[in-house]
Every structure is written in structure tokens, then in C-alpha cells.
A and B are shown apart, each in its own frame.
Chain A
Amino acid sequence: MRTGEDWLAIWCAGILLAISFAAVWCTQPADLAAKLAIGESVDVANPLSSWIATPTKWTTSPMDALTKSWPGTLGAFAIIAVVFGFAMSVRGKSVVGFLKAFPIIFLIATVAFMMAGHSVIKAYNLEYPLWALLVGLLISNTIGTPQFLRPAMLTEFFIKTGLVLLGAEVLMNRLLALGLPGIFVAWIVTPIVLVSTYIFGQKVLKMPSKSLNMVISADLSVCGVSAAIATAGACKAKKEELSLAIGMSLSFTVVMMVVMPAIIKATGMDPIVGGAWLGGTIDSTGAVAAAGAVLGDEALEVAATVKMIQNILIGVTAFCVAVYWVTYVERDETVPLVGAMEIWYRFPKFVLGFVAMSVLFSVLYSTLTAGPELVDAMIDGSTKTIRGWFFCLAFVSIGLETNFKELLPQLKGGKPLILYVCGQTLNLILTLLMAWLMFKVIFPGSVTP
């Protein structure tokens, strides 16, 4: 069943990506190639963009969030209802049951997006998964989750489909945006911190749950919520473990995005080194940009670019974690070697879809004449929004399935918190050292103000 669901998630995401790319391709300006050849900048529109949206940012009235976005919100509802309704029929499940429950789940997700859309909430990096989880938890822990909603509470299926869509945004071509120094800060320190934190959790803290250990390690070392979601899928973590990792990440990010720029300013640190330090350590991408901007445009540029390079590491991380899990963590201790068929059988196939989409769209991006314009228009106009809905629906489902009591044992002994603090401390030290070495000692002047 798990494998069937994985393949179906790849199909659903693949169909959505194919339709989105075809829509952009078919409506591209006739003279696009000619204009690009003479160096003119061209905006490629996505015809689906006005039909796919999430509630927008608001400050004084929540209705402002829907004033412009309601057709797009309804469009997203219709698209997901059709695609997942079809998937339910393929899986032999009740389509009617799904379609009866889905409007309510979608409505809760819309409320979560509206809560996350308040400008102050956004400014503090309190992302929508937190509110989706909170609203779901409030319902399940007060009146209880009604039985009729269960056919649309497809946590894993939403996450897997969203992750395959995210694969199209993992564009390898952007790896060299900061040259070698960027690679060293984002791709050398990050795996060291991830592996060290995982080993520390297992050998020193003796954390009972390996998957929780791995999700927290990836969350703090790679890029927060998105990395936690991808790794949780790859190591088959429990929903409570993912919720806990995300809660910790968002809490620490709020503190780090305020404290770190203050420390950098107070110590008179070079803004480029400071920017790289922020980019390599603060979990959330948006928070990195906000913290970098406090230090100035140079720091913002370096911080956001280092984070972007780290974002691209998600695919490699998810793939490696999935391989490690099926070959070592889940292996039968009595059998000396795990066979190739056994690995294939247990491997979470949606991770292959995630990596395949990353490779496919990276190739399209670099080989097509107007690759960057077409791929960017596809992502900006439709697929990243649909991916956001899938993740939000997944967290609503997690909240509706979770009892507060199930979250408490995860915090036993404070081990997850100790793991996060120790891992993040190592991350802060190594990233600062690497940023200083790369941007000041080995490649000084590689980033020009």
C-alpha cells in the first residue's frame, strides 16, 4: 500500500507539473527566443497563475486576504479535489467519502493560511504549518475529529505529492551562484553538522527514536521546515516527531533572526562573513533574508544565496537518508547484507520522484532556449502554490489526528531540545569558521560589494 501510494504521489505531482509546464510553454511569446538573443529581458506569464492562489497577506481585516485571492483559492480547491478524487478511485477508496470531507479540510487549511498571512505573524517567521497544526489540534483535542473527515485526512499522501512538486524547485544550476566559497559554507558544513548531530543524539543522548533524531538533525542543519518535511518522509518519521521538530525550529528561528544580526553588528563583523554565517545557520529561508537585510544589501545577498544553495541540498539529503534508512536502520540484524531487491522494495519511491523532478527541471532550465524564464514562470505561477496547499493540508491532517498526550512523551527528558541546542551550537561555530576561512582567507574579494 505504501509503495502504491508513493507511485501515485509521483503520478499526481507529475501530471500537475506537466500541465503547468505545458500551459507556460504553449502561451510563451512567439518572439521570446529572439528577444532573449538580443539581451532583452522578457516576462513569461503563467496562464494558470490567476486560478491558483493562497490567501494573501493582510494587516487590518482578514477579508483582505481573500479579496484578490478567492478565485485562485477556489481554483486550488478544485484542482486538488479533482486530482486526489481521481487518485482515491485508483486506490480503490471511496471518492464520495473523500469529496464529502475534503471541503472541510480545505476550509481549515484556508483559515490556517489566513492566520499565517497576518503581516506581524509573517514578520516573525511563524509559518503556516504551525497554524495548520494548531487549528487541527484544537479541533481534535476538544470536540474530537468527526469520523466523516477521515477519508480526506491524507497526511502522507499530501506530503509525498507536495515533495515531488518541490523537487521541480530544487534547481541544481543555482549551486554555483556564489562560487566555491558558497559551496564550502553550504555543502561542506551542513553534512558535517547533520551527521555529527545524528551521531551525538544516538551515542551520547541515546535518543530512543532514530527518526526523531534524524529529522531534528536535518531540520537544524539544512533549512528548517522544508528539510524536516523531506527527511521525515525519507525516514518514515511519526507525525508527532515532525510536529515537534518544526515547532522547535520555528521557535529558535524567531530568536536567532533577532539576536544574530545584533551580535554581528556589535562585534563589527564583516557583513559578507556575517551574511554567510546567517545563511548557513538560521533554519528558515525567509528569516535568513530578514536577518541579512538588517546588516545591509551585501549581507542580504550573501545570506540569501548561501541559504538558497543549502535549500538545494534537500534533495541529496532526502535521498541519502532514505538509502541509509533502508540499508542500516530498517535492516534485519540477523542477515549480514541487505540485498538490492530488499533495498528497492523498502525504498520510499516518492524520494525517487522528488530527485527525478529536480534533475528533469534542472536540465530543462539549462538546455531550453528560454529555460530559466519558462521554468521560473511554471514554479512562480502555479506549482509552488499548489505545493504550499499540499503541505498545509498535511499539517491540518496531522493536527486532526494528534492527541496532545501523544506529543508529551516526545519531550521526555528534554532530549530533543538538548539535541537541537547542541547541534545548532556546532552549526554556529563551524559555519562561522568556514565563512571566515572562505570569504576572508582563501577567497577574499570573491564577493564584491
Chain B
Amino acid sequence: MIWNTQIRRVLALAGSIIALSVVWLVWLPAYANQPEMKQHLQWLDDKGIDPSAMYYTELEVMKDILAR
């Protein structure tokens, strides 16, 4: 019984890792290569914007704005 529970838990973790791996290693790279998304990512890079910046010091474009 305990053995079954342990196996179920390990399988649950393994399944989650496989699901996450498929998303990050297959789906996201493929999505990033879609022309529209590729263009959007390039636009963000050109502008020096990281939309995931948590604080203003993490935002590259802020240096140019403050310099102006």
C-alpha cells in the first residue's frame, strides 16, 4: 500500500516534469519562431524592454529615459 503511494507520487512528479519539458523545450521554442511572435520579441529587444522586469533598475530602457 505504502509502496503504491510512493510509486504514484514519483509518477506524478515524473509526469509533471515531462509535461513542463514538452512546453518549455518544444512548444515555447516553436511558438517563439512564429513570424508574428518573432517580430514582437525582436521589437521588445530593439526597444530594450524586458516585460518581466520586477523593478525599474532591471529595465534597460530606463537608462536612456533617465539620461534624457
Contacts and interface: CB of A to CB of B under 8 A. Distances in A.
A83 interface: no
Contacts of A110: none
Given A115-B24, A121-B28, A126-B52, A286 B59 contact: yes
Interface string B17-55: 100100011001101110001001101100101111111
A300 interface: yes
A142 B12 contact: yes
A60 B20 CA distance: 15
A174 interface: yes
Contact of B13 (A115, A128, A139): A139
A308 B28 contact: no
B12 A307 contact: no
B32 A59 contact: yes
Contact of A122 (B31, B50, B62): B50
B65 interface: yes
A422 B66 CA distance: 34
B49 A286 contact: yes
Contact of B51 (A115, A125, A142, A166): A125
Interface in A88-116: 115-116
Contact of B49 (A224, A289, A307, A379): A289
B44 to A, nearest CB: 6
A225 interface: yes
A351 to B, nearest CB: 17
B54 A293 contact: no
Using C-beta atoms within 8 Å of the partner chain, give the interface range for chain B: 35 or more
Interface string A273-293: 000000000001111011001
Contacts of B49: 286, 289-290, 293, 300
Nearest to A57: B50
- The interface size bin for chain A is 35 or more
Contacts of A391: 54
Contacts of B40: 123
A286 B54 contact: yes
A413 B57 CA distance: 38
A62 to B, nearest CB: 7
Contact of A142 (B13, B28, B41, B65): B13
A289 B13 contact: no
Contacts of A433: none
Contact of B59 (A57, A124, A128, A285): A285
Nearest to A114: B24
Contacts of A293: 43-44, 47, 49, 61
Interface string A128-170: 1000000000110011100000000000000000000010010
B26 to A, nearest CB: 11
B11 to A, nearest CB: 9
A440 interface: no
Contact of A305 (B10, B13, B29, B65): B65
A120 B57 CA distance: 21
Contacts of B44: 123, 290, 293
Nearest to B13: A142
B62 A304 contact: yes
Contacts of B37: 120, 123
A244 to B, nearest CB: 18
B28 A118 contact: yes
B52 A122 contact: yes
A127 interface: yes
Contacts of A121: 28, 52
5 contacts: A59-B29, A120-B32, A125-B51, A286-B52, A304-B65
Given A142-B16, A284-B52, 12 more contacts: A118-B24, A118-B32, A120-B28, A120-B31, A122-B52, A143-B13, A144-B9, A225-B54, A226-B55, A285-B59, A293-B44, A305-B65
Interface of A: 57, 59-62, 115-116, 118-128, 138-139, 142-144, 166, 169, 174, 177, 223-226, 257, 284-287, 289-290, 293, 300-301, 304-305, 307-308, 311, 376, 379-380, 384, 388, 391
* 8 A-B pairs with least C-beta separation: A286-B53, A142-B13, A290-B51, A308-B56, A286-B51, A142-B12, A122-B52, A125-B51
